[in-house]
Chain A
Amino acid sequence: NAGVMQNPRHLVRRRGQEARLRCSPMKGHSHVYWYRQLPEEGLKFMVYLQKENIIDESGMPKERFSAEFPKEGPSILRIQQVVRGDSAAYFCASSPLPAASSYNSPLHFGNGTRLTVT
């Protein structure tokens, strides 16, 4: 059973370009979470999505960042007009059930996409 798959593993963008990060959850998981880890810092929650719905985006920057999880295909985290401060590791996690409802449903994380903005 494949784990959470993220691609690309490494992404380099120039300032002002767009970055698109993809996340395929574990099979059978319909809940996806995105976290960001700045260099030498802990992970920070960004957004929680179910299929076709954004449930909680309280950690998303107000501008330039968006996320989707369509009915078919992976979840996408999109960063428009990237700046150097966006350089970070972006991790996706998935769970099979609504996170708040299941005691035995810890988050399963992918290995992240490392974004470097030059």
Chain B
Amino acid sequence: DAKTTQPPSMDCAEGRAANLPCNHSTISGNEYVYWYRQIHSQGPQYIIHGLKNNETNEMASLIITEDRKSSTLILPHATLRDTAVYYCIAGFQGAQKLVFGQGTRLTINP
């Protein structure tokens, strides 16, 4: 699986958009980009995934650059409950052996 690089921590004001970057410069053509988050003391929660095209669901949007070397997860209107560690993972379709890195610790401030 391709290695991903994320900033260790970020802050965002409540109500603003949170933009979490991820670099995956060695991603292969058939590897997807997955995003999960882990709220303190809970299990990881799936957010979104995509291959080439931008994706949007009820939780977030995923923007993947044309060369697929990086992506951005966007939480459009962050709330305090979005405070969590966010993991960007590159892996094959339906990968069960997800390789979790250190993630980005996102703190939403009131």
Contacts and interface: CB of A to CB of B under 8 A. Distances in A.
Interface string A6-39: 0000000000000000000000000101010000
B97 A45 contact: yes
B49 A106 contact: yes
Contacts of A110: 43
Interface of A: 4, 31, 33, 35, 41-45, 48, 56, 58-59, 91, 93, 95, 97-103, 105-112
User: Which among B44, B93, B96, B100 has the greatest number of chain A C-beta atoms within 10 A?
Assistant: B96
Interface residues of B, number: 21
A109 to B, nearest CB: 3
Given A100-B92, A108-B46, A109-B43, A48 B97 contact: yes
Contacts of A33: 96
Contact of A109 (B34, B45, B96, B103): B45
Interface string B75-110: 000000000000100001111111111110000000
Given A42-B101, A107-B98, A4 B43 contact: yes
Contact of B97 (A56, A91, A108, A111): A56
A4 B102 CA distance: 24
